[in-house]
């Protein structure tokens, strides 16, 4: 091991916590600085006063292929608390719900026989191939149009790409879409108590080994003092041997002295992303009475006013996890991705909630406004990277050109999609660069 280092980590999300886990166990002095009042970042949860479990602010689940999450949960000694139910996921097509998992039910999709055949072949190919480097040379829009065919692509995948990436949906490369399919499993996982229970256990274990987690503490500046990185907090600069930042590209550039003028900083500035938001509803009755957990909704245009639904996904969480954990509440997410300057980020919480609630009777004609016991609104302007063609060539490395400063964000987990499993991998990778320079 190297000499004991003093390490500052900006952000107590999953990547920051995973890095801290390896660094503190290696004997280093670790300080995590988190602007929010709890750990978890985008994986954090909230808890109504009547619930036993936390609920994620933004819908989350793990796949059975998520080896990095499984490993760190095993190291925490709580593998026995993992749950792996198999929920029902569906498409909304022509006003009806159709199962979306690869299964015999796919034969019921409203597609021609040749479209179903091509859908099956493409699905098998994407599940088996590992050559994502070839796929990133072309957009998902062009690749899927050619191999899947216009009928299946325009009915199933194009609406999802539009909903996910808005006006940039034709820029996203095929490797990103491959990764979404390749890693997917039918069973979806969660830790007892929710994702907040997982990050809390990880944070507790880190603190027990001597790390310091500073909540409600924002880092104002990263600078270099006498060849070492320093963090300015409440106007006071503190020097470290190493600093890891897990912030968005934009924030990293704003707070880091001299980074924007480097080739590295210019590369960061070219990275694209889109925002995400969820309106979470506590209902008195079930909305998706067929048992569907996740319902993909069609987006025919990036203009929300031209699409049938004002959001992308309808997720009835309590069709996956028992409502008894939430005092009998039926919990439903209305989730969407929009650019950070979209009106959804400017509307009041009540205005946004009412816009989404106004279409719920299309999913259940019995729905009444008084079914809504309570609602919550969560928004994140940096929620989803937008990977374009040959994106692997555009990603900055984890080590910045500034001495002792590292940057590890979800923009760098490519080709994988952002998520807690790959956040763990990323955090441990940047910690490894420090432990084994």
DSSP β-bridge partners for residue 82: 191
Q: What percent of the chain has pLDDT over 90?
A: 93
The answer, yes or no, to whether residue 321 has pLDDT greater than 90, is yes
State pLDDT tens for residues 115-130: 999 999 999 999 999 9
Helix (H) / strand (E) element for 236: namely: strand 236-239
Q: How is 415-431 classified by DSSP, letter by letter?
A: TSPSSHHHHHHHHHHHH
Region 44-54: mean pLDDT is: 97
Rounded to 10°, the helix 420-435/67-76 angle is 70
Say what the pLDDT of residue 107 is: 72
Q: Give the pTM.
A: 0.95
| Position 2 confidence tier, pLDDT thresholds 50, 70, 90 | low
Rounded to 5°, angle at Cα 143 from 137 and 146:
140
Nearest to 32 by CA among 19, 44, 43, 42: 19
The DSSP bridge pattern shows strands 405-407 and 242-245 to be: parallel
Q: Span 6-83+192-271+387-435: which CATH code? A: 3.50.50.60
Region 102-112: mean pLDDT is: 74
- CA dihedral (67, 72, 77, 82) in degrees, to 10, reads -50
CB 357 within 8 A of CB 247: no
3-state class (DSSP) for residue 221: strand
3-state class (DSSP) for residue 149: coil
Q: Which strands, in side-by-side order, build the sheet including 330-338?
A: 96-99, 88-93, 292-296, 313-316, 330-338, 273-283, 372-385
Helix (H) / strand (E) element for 113: namely: helix 113-128
The DSSP bridge pattern shows strands 273-283 and 292-296 to be: unpaired
Give the range among 37-46, 103-112, 193-202 with minimum mean pLDDT.
103-112
Q: Name the residue ranges covered by the structural domains of the chain.
A: 6-83+192-271+387-435, 102-182, 273-385
Q: What are the CA-CA distances from residue 29 to residues 3, 5, 206, 211, 420 (Å)?
A: 11, 6, 11, 6, 24
CA diameter of the chain: 69
| Position 1 confidence tier, pLDDT thresholds 50, 70, 90 | very low
Using DSSP, how many helices (H) and how many strands (E) does the chain show?
13, 20
Region 259-276: mean pLDDT is: 97
Region 382-406: mean pLDDT is: 97
Topology of domain 273-385 in CATH is Polyamine Oxidase; Chain A, domain 2 (3.90.660)
Q: What are the CA-CA distances from residue 83 to residues 13, 18, 195, 205 (Å)?
A: 22, 21, 12, 21
State pLDDT tens for residues 216-232: 999 999 999 999 999 99
Rounded distance between C-alpha atoms, residue 67 and residue 70, angstroms = 5
Region 69-90: mean pLDDT is: 97
């Amino acid at each position: 091991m190297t000499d004991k280092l003093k390490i500052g980590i900006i952000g107590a999300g999953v990547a920051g916590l995973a890095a801290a886990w390896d660094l503190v166990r290696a004997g280093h002095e670790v300080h995590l600085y988190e602007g929010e009042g709890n750990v978890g970042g985008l994986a954090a949860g909230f808890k109504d006063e009547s619930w036993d479990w936390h609920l994620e602010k933004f819908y989350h689940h793990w796949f059975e292929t998520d080896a990095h999450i499984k490993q760190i949960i095993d190291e925490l000694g709580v593998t026995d608390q993992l749950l792996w139910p198999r929920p029902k996921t569906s498409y909304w097509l022509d006003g009806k719900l159709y199962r979306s998992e690869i299964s015999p039910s796919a034969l019921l999709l409203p597609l021609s026989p040749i479209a179903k055949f091509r859908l099956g072949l493409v699905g098998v190919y994407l599940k088996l191939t590992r050559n994502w480097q070839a796929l990133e040379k072309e957009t998902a829009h062009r690749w899927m149009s050619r191999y899947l065919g216009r009928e299946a692509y325009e009915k199933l995948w194009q609406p999802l790409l539009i909903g996910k990436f808005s006006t940039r949906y034709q820029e996203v490369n095929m490797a990103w879409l491959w990764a979404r399919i390749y890693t997917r499993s039918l069973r979806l996982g969660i830790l007892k108590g929710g994702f907040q229970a997982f990050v809390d256990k990880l944070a507790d274990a880190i603190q027990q080994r001597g790390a310091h987690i500073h909540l409600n503490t924002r880092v104002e500046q990263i600078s270099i003092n006498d060849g070492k990185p320093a963090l300015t907090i409440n106007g006071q600069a503190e020097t470290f041997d190493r600093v890891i930042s897990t912030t968005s590209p934009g924030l990293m550039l704003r707070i880091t002295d001299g980074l924007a003028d480097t080739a590295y900083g210019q590369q960061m500035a070219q990275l694209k992303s889109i925002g995400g938001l969820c309106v979470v509803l506590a209902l008195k009755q079930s909305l998706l009475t067929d048992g569907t957990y996740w319902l993909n909704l069609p987006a025919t245009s990036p203009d929300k006013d031209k699409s049938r639904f004002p959001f992308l996904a309808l997720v009835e969480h309590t069709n996956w996890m028992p409502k008894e954990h939430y005092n009998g509440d039926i919990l439903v997410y209305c989730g969407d991705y929009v650019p950070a300057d979209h009106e959804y980020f400017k509307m009041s919480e009540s205005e946004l909630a009412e816009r989404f609630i106004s279409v719920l009777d299309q999913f259940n004609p019995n729905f009444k406004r008084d079914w809504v016991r309570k609602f919550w609104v969560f928004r994140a302007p940096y929620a989803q990277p937008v990977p374009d063609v040959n994106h692997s060539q555009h990603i900055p490395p984890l080590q910045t050109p500034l001495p002792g400063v590292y940057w590890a964000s979800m923009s760098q987990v490519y080709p994988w999609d952002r998520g807690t499993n790959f956040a763990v991998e990323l955090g441990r990778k940047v910690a490894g660069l420090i432990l084994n320079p």
